Every structure is written in structure tokens, then in C-alpha cells.
């Protein structure tokens, strides 16, 4: 039996018509077909609803993704980046930057790394300070240091070595740039072979040097040490000159004393000659006594056995007292004598006995070497250095420039024969130098051949003297 039904439905707010037709009946089952008509408005609304659902789902997915990304960045990525940067700081021993992260295990890890960073930073700073100190020490040494690798390359040279060996090339450079000296090359070869070598002596640019080589303990190579023998050679020369001069200064009067003593032992010597010989013996004995006394004075000053007791002294009075004996000698030679004290220099801070001896030695020395003209004691104020310069100016024969640096050495004579004939011991200016330096001052000399000489010493004021 065929059954047809017609009905209306409301769909999405619009009416739709449907027809239901029964096609067949088999037992309890009925097969049917439905045919309907839907309005275009319904279709449009269905599409819009579907698009809206997709859009909402997409927005929700984007928001969820952003949220997950933000959480990942703040909870995982940033802590990992901080740990990474901290690890880089550790690798570079950078102890100046700290890294802070938030989290649990990552925070603990970052804190641990930060603690390690701090300790490594302190260690790196300590190593830097130590390295800087070692560099400063090496560069301040008066001895030269040269480091040579096993391949024969100079990898380090301090300032003293550059100066002593006259090295100009920047490191590294080949050992071929070192002075071409056979002993130096042999010494270096032995050190590179692991043996201590030297010292050997060589001359470089007029300098007398001693060189020793040592194998490096923890690295393949050798270290050269260079010593300047110049000061030692000069001291040896001064010592030899001193012994020779003392021997000569004492031998001459001793020979005279011995010869005249033998003559006096002869009964045939006339009374007048006997008196003359006795006077000669007395004069030479006094000369020897003066040499011995001045040597003892020098020894006492140099050893620190004498210390000045400075007080405020009148310079003019000290000059008058010190020149009593020398004035007679000057008058006999028709050499004028004067005391010139400039404003502000009337009083000086000095030991009375020392100042008197300084002036006595300078005046006597000037009178001995001045044939005509005048000898003048001069005193002038030095406000810059806060003290007084006291010295003696003469119009004598003057001193050649090459002799000026050595005139304060013991027994040094510009003209030995002339000095001995004039009666000097060769110790007076050396005593002057040591007495002035004991006051914290200095001595200096200016001269020109034929134009006279000025020798003066600086005496600091009491406040500047430190007393």
C-alpha cells in the first residue's frame, strides 16, 4: 500500500516543506522516501554558523598557542638562555656579570653556576694581579732577562736586556738578532740542551757585560740573564786608585822623614841644617797625620758613625771663622777674599762643626788653585727647594769638563803634580760631599778652564730636613 504524507518544519527560523511517501511494507518494516524543499535563506544561515564555529575554534587555538609559548619562554627558554650565558661567562672567566633566573631546578642550577662564576672571577682577578706584578718586577730589574724557545726564537726581552744588549727588534725574533759573540752562542746552546751555562763576559756597544744561561724547568727553552759589569768595574778602579793614592800620599812624606832622620843621625850635621831638617820632618809628619785623620773622618761619616746635629747658624760668621788660616795664604798671593750673603740666606740649618769644615776645605782648595783675582764665599736662598746654597767661587785656572764629575772622589786630582805641590791631600772635596749629603743635601760644581770654579752645597731648611 502506498502512503503519502505532507508536513511543514521550522528550520533555523525558516519554514521547510517535506513529503513522506511509503514505498513498500515488508513485515513490520516500512520503506519510505522523503522529499523536501529548503529555503535558500536556511542554506546561507547554515554556512554562516559553520564559518563562525571554525573562526572561534581558530581563535581559541591561537590563544592557546600564544599562552603555551609564553609559558615556555618564561619557564624554560629564558632560564636556559641565562644558564647558557652564565656558562659562556665561566668559559671566558668573566667575573663581572651575574645572571638571575626564576624556576625550580633551573634556578638552583643557575645559582650554582653563579657561585662557580664568582669564585672563578676572584681567581681570575688574583691571577691577573699576580701576572701584572710579575711583569712589573721583570721590567723593573736592573738585570736583563731574555727567554728563548727550543726552536731558537726569542719570545721575551725585558727593558734592561734591550738596553744592555742594544736590541731593537720586537719579539718574537730569531736568536740571530742577538749580539754575534761566540761565547754567548755557546752558552745559549748549552742551556737549550738542558745545562746551566756561564757566566761569560762580553762587550756590547762599549759595555762590559756578564751573561749566564739557565734551562727552563717547565718548558722547552732557556733563559738568559745579563748583568752590567760597568758599576763593578768602576768600583774596582776606584779601589785600586784609592790604594795606589794612599800608598803614594803616605810614601812620599815617609821617604822624606826617613831620609832626614838618617841625616840627623850623623853627628857632622851643622846646627842650622839640623833645625831645618827637623822642621821638614815635622811638616811631613803633620801631612801624614792629616791624611790619616781625614781618612778616619771619611770612614766615620760613610759608616754612619757620625750624625749631624743641625742648628740655625749665621752663614757670614761661619765663613769668617773658617777662613782665618786661608786668608793669610790668600794675602800672601795677593788674592782677594770676600763673603757675599744674598737676602734670605743669612742663616742656614746645619751642624756647626760640619759647616765650618765644609767652608774651610772649600776656601783652602780655592786659594790653592787661584793665582790671582779673588775667592768669595757665597750664600743664596733657594725658595723652590726650601734651603740655602753655600759655596765658594774663585777666579782660578778652572777645571776641564771631563774632570768635573770625578772631583769629589777620594784622592782624585785634576793635576796630581800641581795639587801635591800646593799641599792638598786629595780628600777635602770628598769630605765636603759626604758632610753635605749627611744633612740631606747635595753638592755640585761648575767651572770653565781659565774662568774659575764654583763649588757649593745645599743645606735644607729644618722643616724640609725632617728634624
Count other Cβ atoms within 10 Å, centred on residue 427.
23
- Whether residues 364 and 294 share a domain: the answer is no
- Among 207, 228, 249, the domain boundary falls at 228
On the question of a cis peptide bond just before residue 156, with omega within 30 degrees of 0, the verdict is no
Residue 77 in any domain: the answer is no
Q: Write out the DSSP string of 249-290.
A: HHHHHHHHHHHHHHHHTSTT--HHHHHHHHHHHHHHHHHHHH
Helix (H) or strand (E) holding 237: helix 230-264
For residue 197, the domain's CATH number is 3.30.450.20
Determine the distance from the C-alpha atom of residue 75 to the mean position of all C-alpha atoms in its chain, rounded to a whole number. Answer: 54
Residue range of the domain that includes 17: 4-38
Residue 57 in any domain: the answer is no
- Whether residues 360 and 457 share a domain: the answer is yes
Please compute Rg for the chain using Cα positions: 53
Q: Enumerate residues 6+ apart whose C-beta is below 8 A from 192.
A: 148, 150, 152, 215, 221, 222
Residue 165 in any domain: the answer is yes
Q: Report the pLDDT value the prediction gives residue 26, as an integer from 0 to 100.
A: 46
Count other Cβ atoms within 10 Å, centred on residue 370.
20
The length of the chain, given as a count of residues: 467
Q: Report the pLDDT value the prediction gives residue 455, as an integer from 0 to 100.
A: 94
Q: Enumerate residues 6+ apart whose C-beta is below 8 A from 238.
A: 409, 410
- Pairing mode of beta strands 374-382, 336-341: parallel
Q: Report the pLDDT value the prediction gives residue 311, as an integer from 0 to 100.
A: 92
- Distance, CA of 267 to CA of 388 (rounded, Å): 60
Residue 366 in any domain: the answer is yes
Q: Enter the DSSP assignment of 77.
A: I
- Among 205, 228, 251, the domain boundary falls at 228
- Whether residues 408 and 284 share a domain: the answer is no
- Whether residues 151 and 188 share a domain: the answer is yes
Residue 195 in any domain: the answer is yes
- Among 197, 228, 259, the domain boundary falls at 228
Q: Report the pLDDT value the prediction gives residue 329, as an integer from 0 to 100.
A: 83
Q: Report the pLDDT value the prediction gives residue 388, as an integer from 0 to 100.
A: 94
Residue 136 in any domain: the answer is no
Q: Write out the DSSP string of 8-63.
A: EEEETTEEEEEEEEEEEEETTEEEEEEEEE--HHHHHHHHHHHHHHHHHHHHHHHH
- Whether residues 150 and 243 share a domain: the answer is no
- Whether residues 216 and 355 share a domain: the answer is no
Contact predicate 227/211, CB 8 Å: yes
- Distance, CA of 467 to CA of 459 (rounded, Å): 13
- Whether residues 348 and 430 share a domain: the answer is yes
Closest CA to 382 of 354, 346, 344: 344
Q: Report the pLDDT value the prediction gives residue 97, as an integer from 0 to 100.
A: 52
For residue 257, the domain's CATH number is 1.10.287.130
- Distance, CA of 144 to CA of 161 (rounded, Å): 4
Q: Report the pLDDT value the prediction gives residue 467, as an integer from 0 to 100.
A: 43
Q: Give just the sign of the alpha carbon dihedral 326, 327, 329, 330.
A: positive
The distance in angstroms from the start CA to the end CA of the chain is 146
Closest CA to 97 of 120, 129, 73: 120
- Whether residues 297 and 331 share a domain: the answer is no
- Whether residues 344 and 448 share a domain: the answer is yes
Determine the distance from the C-alpha atom of residue 330 to the mean position of all C-alpha atoms in its chain, rounded to a whole number. Answer: 51
Stated pTM of the model: 0.54
- Whether residues 213 and 241 share a domain: the answer is no
- Whether residues 248 and 340 share a domain: the answer is no
Q: Enumerate residues 6+ apart whose C-beta is below 8 A from 164.
A: 144, 204, 207, 209, 226, 228
For residue 446, the domain's CATH number is 3.30.565.10
- Distance, CA of 225 to CA of 214 (rounded, Å): 8
What is the pLDDT tens value at each position of the chain, 467 positions in all?
455 554 444 444 544 544 444 544 444 444 444 444 445 565 566 566 667 777 787 787 787 777 776 665 566 666 666 666 666 565 555 555 555 555 555 566 667 667 777 777 777 788 777 777 777 776 667 788 888 888 888 888 888 888 888 888 888 888 888 888 888 888 888 888 888 887 888 888 888 888 888 888 766 788 888 888 888 888 887 778 777 777 777 887 888 888 888 888 877 778 888 888 888 888 888 888 888 888 888 888 887 788 889 999 999 999 888 888 788 888 888 889 999 999 888 999 999 999 999 999 999 889 988 888 899 999 999 999 999 999 999 998 888 888 888 888 887 777 655 555 555 667 889 999 999 999 999 999 999 888 899 999 999 998 665 54
Contact predicate 396/357, CB 8 Å: no
Q: What's the domain count of the chain?
A: 4
In degrees, to the nearest 5, what angle opens at C-alpha 144 toward C-alphas 143 and 148?
145
At residue 398, the 3 state secondary structure works out as coil
- Distance, CA of 395 to CA of 372 (rounded, Å): 7
Residue 386 in any domain: the answer is yes
Strand arrangement of the beta sheet that strand 144-149 belongs to: 173-174, 153-157, 144-149, 221-228, 207-215, 197-204
Contact predicate 161/145, CB 8 Å: yes
Residue 66 in any domain: the answer is no
In DSSP terms, which residues pair with 334 in a beta bridge?
A: none
Closest CA to 305 of 431, 438, 436: 438
- Whether residues 326 and 410 share a domain: the answer is yes
Q: Report the pLDDT value the prediction gives residue 80, as an integer from 0 to 100.
A: 63
Closest CA to 413 of 435, 430, 431, 391: 430
Amino acid at each position: 500500500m502506498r502512503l503519502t504524507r505532507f508536513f511543514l518544519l521550522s528550520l533555523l527560523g525558516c519554514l521547510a516543506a517535506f513529503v513522506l511517501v511509503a514505498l513498500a511494507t515488508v513485515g513490520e518494516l516500512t520503506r519510505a522516501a522523503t522529499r523536501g524543499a529548503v529555503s535558500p535563506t536556511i542554506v546561507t544561515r547554515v554556512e554562516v554558523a559553520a564559518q563562525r564555529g571554525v573562526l572561534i575554534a581558530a581563535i581559541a587555538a591561537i590563544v592557546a598557542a600564544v599562552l603555551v609559548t609564553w609559558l615556555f619562554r618564561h619557564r624554560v627558554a629564558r632560564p636556559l638562555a641565562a644558564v647558557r650565558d652564565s656558562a659562556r661567562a665561566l668559559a671566558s672567566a668573566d667575573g663581572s656579570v651575574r645572571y638571575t633566573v626564576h624556576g625550580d631546578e633551573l634556578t638552583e642550577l643557575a645559582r650554582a653556576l653563579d657561585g662557580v662564576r664568582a669564585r672563578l672571577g676572584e681567581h681570575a682577578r688574583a691571577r691577573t694581579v699576580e701576572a701584572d706584578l710579575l711583569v712589573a718586577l721583570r721590567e723593573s730589574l736592573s738585570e736583563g732577562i731574555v727567554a728563548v724557545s727550543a726552536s731558537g726564537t726569542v719570545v721575551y726581552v725585558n727593558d734592561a736586556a734591550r738596553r744592555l744588549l742594544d736590541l731593537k727588534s720586537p719579539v718574537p725574533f730569531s736568536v740571530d738578532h742577538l749580539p754575534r759573540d761566540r761565547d754567548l752562542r755557546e752558552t745559549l746552546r748549552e742551556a737549550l740542551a738542558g745545562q746551566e751555562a756561564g757566566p761569560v763576559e762580553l762587550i756590547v756597544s762599549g759595555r762590559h757585560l756578564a751573561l749566564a744561561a739557565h734551562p727552563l724547568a717547565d718548558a722547552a727553552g732557556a733563559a738568559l740573564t745579563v748583568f752590567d759589569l760597568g758599576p763593578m768595574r768602576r768600583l774596582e778602579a776606584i779601589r785600586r786608585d784609592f790604594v795606589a793614592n794612599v800608598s803614594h800620599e803616605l810614601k812620599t812624606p815617609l821617604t822624606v822623614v826617613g831620609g832626614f832622620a838618617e841625616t840627623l843621625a850623623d853627628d857632622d850635621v851643622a846646627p842650622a841644617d839640623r833645625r831645618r831638617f827637623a822642621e821638614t820632618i815635622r811638616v811631613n809628619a803633620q801631612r801624614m797625620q792629616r791624611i790619616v785623620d781625614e781618612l778616619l773622618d771619611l770612614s766615620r761619616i760613610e759608616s754612619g758613625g757620625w750624625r749631624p746635629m743641625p742648628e740655625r747658624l749665621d752663614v757670614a760668621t761661619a765663613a769668617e771663622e773658617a777662613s782665618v788660616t786661608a786668608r793669610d795664604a790668600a794675602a800672601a798671593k795677593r788674592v782677594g777674599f770676600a763673603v757675599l750673603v744674598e737676602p734670605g740666606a743669612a742663616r742656614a740649618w746645619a751642624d756647626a762643626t760640619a759647616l765650618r769644615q765644609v767652608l774651610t776645605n772649600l776656601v783652602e782648595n780655592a786659594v790653592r788653585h787661584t793665582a790671582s783675582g779673588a775667592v768669595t764665599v757665597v750664600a743664596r736662598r733657594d725658595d723652590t727647594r726650601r734651603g740655602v746654597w753655600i759655596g765658594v767661587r774663585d777666579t782660578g785656572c778652572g777645571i776641564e769638563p771631563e774632570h768635573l764629575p770625578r772631583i769629589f772622589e777620594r784622592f782624585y786630582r785634576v793635576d796630581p803634580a800641581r795639587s801635591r805641590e800646593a799641599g792638598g791631600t786629595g780628600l777635602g772635596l770628598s769630605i765636603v760631599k759626604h758632610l753635605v749629603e749627611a744633612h740631606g743635601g747635595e753638592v755640585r760644581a761648575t767651572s770653565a778652564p781659565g774662568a774659575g770654579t764654583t763649588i757649593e752645597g745645599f743645606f735644607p731648611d729644618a722643616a724640609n730636613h725632617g728634624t
